[in-house]
Amino acid sequence: MATDSASLYARIHELVRLIPAGSVATYGQLARLCGCSARQAGYAMAAAPDDVPWHRVINSRGEISPRKEGGESAQRGRLLDEGVTFDRRGRVDLGQVRWPGPSWAWLAANGYSVDGIE
């Protein structure tokens, strides 16, 4: 259970909730937005509740990250159900389905620096 860093996870989870169906984001992308490292983004997914579309978060290669349990297939299935296509290698076309990120308005409304760099 998260301790003091629960707010950090909450922030990541909120970002993930903004990802529309049919789009995907990378761990590093979320990490940049929440101001933490990519590993923490992965940890946040492991701890993500069911109301978070964690299946829309993949690694920078556009593949499903291998984890302990074999939940990869479930994640792939959810994405396919949302219209995300995988190529023969099991990778998605990030150039096509990658989530551009939250709107500037959202960022500003949530205390993020719109300048990109605080």
Partner DNA sequence: TAAATGACTAACA
Partner DNA sequence: GTGTTAGCCATTT
Is residue 87 within 8 Å of residue 61, measured between CB atoms? no
Residues 59-118 contacting DNA, CB under 7 A: 59-61, 65-68, 71, 75
Establish how many alpha carbons lie within 13 A of residue 11's alpha carbon, considering only the half-sphere containing its beta carbon.
18
Tokens 């219209």, located at residue: 83
Is residue 9 within 8 Å of residue 44, measured between CB atoms? yes
Pattern 3-42, DNA, x by CB under 7 A: xxxx-xx----------------xxx--x----xxxxxxx
> Which residues sit opposite 86 in a β-bridge?
92
Q: Which two tokens stand for residue 5?
A: 């860093």
The least CB distance from residue 105 to DNA, in Å, is: 25
Q: Residue 46, interface with DNA (CB under 7 A)? A: yes
Choose between 49 and 111: whose C-beta lies nearer to DNA. 49
Positions touching DNA (CB under 7 A) are: 1-6, 8-9, 26-28, 31, 36-43, 45-46, 48, 54-55, 57, 59-61, 65-68, 71, 75
